[in-house]
Structure 1
Amino acid sequence: MNVRPPAVAGQFYSHSPDYLVSQLNRWLTPDERNSATLEQQPIRALIVPHAGYIYSGEVAAGAYRCLRAQADRIRRVILIGPSHRYYFEGCALPSTRFFSTPLGQIPIDIQSVDKLRQIDDIEVSDQVHAQEHSLEVQLPFLQSCLHDFTLLPLLTSNVSPAKVARLIDPLWQGDDCLLVVSSDLSHFHTYSAAQRIDKHTCALIEQFEPTLSPEQACGSTGINTLLLLAKQRGYQLKRQIMINSGDTDAGDKERVVGYVSYIVSEPQ
């Protein structure tokens, strides 16, 4: 199979291209409240949530909108997220040549896949990728913010952040490469408990402490990997939006999921 088709269009986000474009443009267009916060330094990475767009879409857009002004230089995207359906050792890459969404096809970075597939901590599995939402929900945002780019989609399971950092460090070089980490925060606590837990988690992120657990962030491996490399490189990190599902019209306050978005940029 050369193309991975969208698995969660119509569930996590709209399957209608026209509606999807309209929704994303509305969220991604700066207004008077956020136009002054657009990052001027080269953006090297994002942390963004991966829930349904009715819950976390605007949170993700808070980071993605900063990319539009820098789209001309970004030609490669490394996208890291947790595997929700399968448990395995290491990381998983697809063998497909394209990932598709209602907005079109994105070419896979075949050169990087070929380099990584020789490594023991990497497996190539289209099955692992087929139904996974953590990476897919980021794709329409990337298609709306960037121009021509290739994608390296990497799912993590039982693997240490230090190993993942060693894998991607040689690939995440140069201004043309963006790292996107897909992660929600805490899951299924009460509203007040989630606020307390997520506030502590964000404090650790902002101190570049690569010690997050899956209970604090379901994509903790990817976040910890980013924190290791960002601290080593002297990058700066800025929180954009933090809420939980209880803050949205679609959620209640009894069992909530936390969401946050960050941009990581070169120092001023």
Structure 2
Amino acid sequence: MPSTKSETVRPPAVAGRFYPADPDRLRRDVQRLIDEAGPVDEPLAAAYIAPHAGYRHSGPVAAQVYARLAAHRGRVKRVVLVGPSHHAPLRGHAAAPYTGWETPLGLVRAAATAVVGSSRLPHEAEHSLEVQLPFLQVALGDDIEVTPVACGMSQTPDTARVIAALLEEAGEDAVLICSTDLSHYHDQATAERVDAATAEAIRSLRPREIAPQHACGVHALRGTVAWADATGRRPRELARATSADTGGSPDRVVGYPAFAIDFPAVTDR
């Protein structure tokens, strides 16, 4: 579909590269991924960690998150998205100054935030939050709002406080999605070893042990893990894979995580 020409609507930056630009194919592909991951009958978690590579490679792992959200369609009204700024240097946190985000499936409404300031530059070409949107549209329908926030260089306690404030502002019908991939461009065996250590740091609530070279969304991820620790929640691994698991070369892979985060009494069922 043609891009909306508006200063207040953010057009898709990676449609046709990270995911299909054709709306029928996109909806069909995302629905297939969700169907293959589900149905999942479990309580809605407060937060999830999802990858953000091209759907061809990270889609099956991301779908583990969205199959769980799809089971609560109609309940989730707002999604707080946190992730990295790959293309623009950023210190601290920046919301997106848009009233909506366009994808080939239509417009996703954006809810403003008073928690952090906004900046267009970190969001204009960024894919890490954009690629979550078609999944959200298929899983949750059109009646949702998003609050996308880019997390740049920051102290982990500061990011944890920002996440807590964003969720408090968003209300009871909100969930958090932290967007990150894991290690980049190792061989398959090395990536599996490195990513296993990162996954253990996430599960064990040890954000300091998550190295910048082991997660491209490291600041958002560290802050999410620290927020989980501060609120008594624990991350539970849903899936983990690499690009080699979906047909990529085993000599130079990227790792992908999926976690649910909530109180142990919920997630350990």
- Unmatched segments (≥5 aa) in structure 1: none
SS at match of 1:116: coil
Change (3 A) 1:160 1:39: farther
Please tell me whether the aligned partners of residues 184 and 217 of structure 1 are also in contact (alpha carbons under 8 angstroms). yes
Matched, 1:125 2:123: no
Cα displacement (A) at 1:226: 1.2
Question: What's the secondary structure of 2:215's corresponding residue?
Answer: coil
1:246 Cα deviation from its structure 2 partner = 1.3
Q: Which residue of structure 2 lines up, in the alignment, with residue 180 of structure 1? A: 177
How far is the alpha carbon of 1:194 from its aligned partner?
0.5
Q: CA–CA distance in 1 between the matches of 2:237 and 2:90?
A: 32
Aligned to 1:84: 86
Aligned twin of 2:3: none
* TM-score normalised over the length of structure 2: 0.90
Alignment correspondent of 2:4 = none
Which position in structure 2 is the counterpart of 1:55? 57
Q: For the Cα contact (< 8 Å) 1:73–1:175, is it kept in 2?
A: no
CA displacement, residues 15-56 of structure 1 (integer Å, 9 cap, x when unaligned): 01100111111111157xx54xx2522311110111111110
- Deviations 1:59-98 (CA, angstroms, capped at 9, x unpaired): 1001110111112221111101100001122112221111
Tell me the equivalent position of 2:229.
231
Report what 1:9 is aligned to: 15
**C-alpha distance in structure 2 between counterparts of 1:168 and 1:235, whole Å:** 14
1:116 equivalent in structure 2: 115
Comparing 193-202 with 223-232, which one deviates more in the overlay? 223-232
Using the TM superposition, name which of 51-60 and 221-230 deviates more: 221-230
Partner Cα separation in structure 1 for residue 128 and residue 41 of structure 2: 25
Whether 1:65 aligns to 2:67 is: yes
Give the counterpart letter for 1:128 in structure 2: P
- What is the RMSD of the two structures over their aligned residues, measured on CA atoms? 1.5
Superposition map of 1:207-218 within 5 A: 207-211=204-208, 212-218=210-216
For the structure 1 residues 197 and 213, does the alpha-carbon distance in structure 2 shift closer, same or farther, using more than 3 Å as the test?
same
- Is 1:159 the counterpart of 2:154? The answer is yes
The alpha carbon displacement at 1:237 in A equals 2.4
Which of the numbers 204, 222, 246 marks the counterpart of 2:244?
A: 246
Give the conservation status (yes or no) of the 8 Å contact 1:41–1:265.
Answer: no
Q: What do residues 204-235 of structure 1 show as CA deviations (whole Å, max 9, x unaligned)?
A: 11111112122111111111111111122222
Aligned residue for 2:207, secondary structure, equals coil
- Secondary structure at 2:74 match in 1: helix
Residue of structure 1 equivalent to 2:134:
140
Between 1:11-20 and 1:164-173, the stretch displaced more is 164-173
CA distance in 2, matches of 1:265, 1:48: 15
Identity of aligned residues (%): 37
Which runs of 5 or more residues in structure 2 are unaligned?
A: 1-6
Q: Is the 8 A contact 1:44 1:175 kept in 2?
A: no
| Partner Cα distance (1:18, 1:67) in 2 | 21
Amino acid of the structure 2 residue aligned with 1:9: A
* Structure 2 letter corresponding to 1:203: E
Is structure 2 residue 170 aligned with structure 1 residue 171? no
Give the aligned residue type for 2:35: T
Does 1:191 pair with 2:193? no
Residue 239 of structure 1 and its aligned partner are, at CA, apart by: 1.2
Quote the Cα distance in structure 1 between the aligned partners of 2:144 and 2:240: 28
Distance 2:96 2:237 in 1: 31
Q: Write the distance in 2 (CA, Å) between the matches of 1:220 and 1:39.
A: 30
Distance 1:39 1:223 in 2: 26
CA distance in 2 between counterparts of 1:224 and 1:39 reads: 28
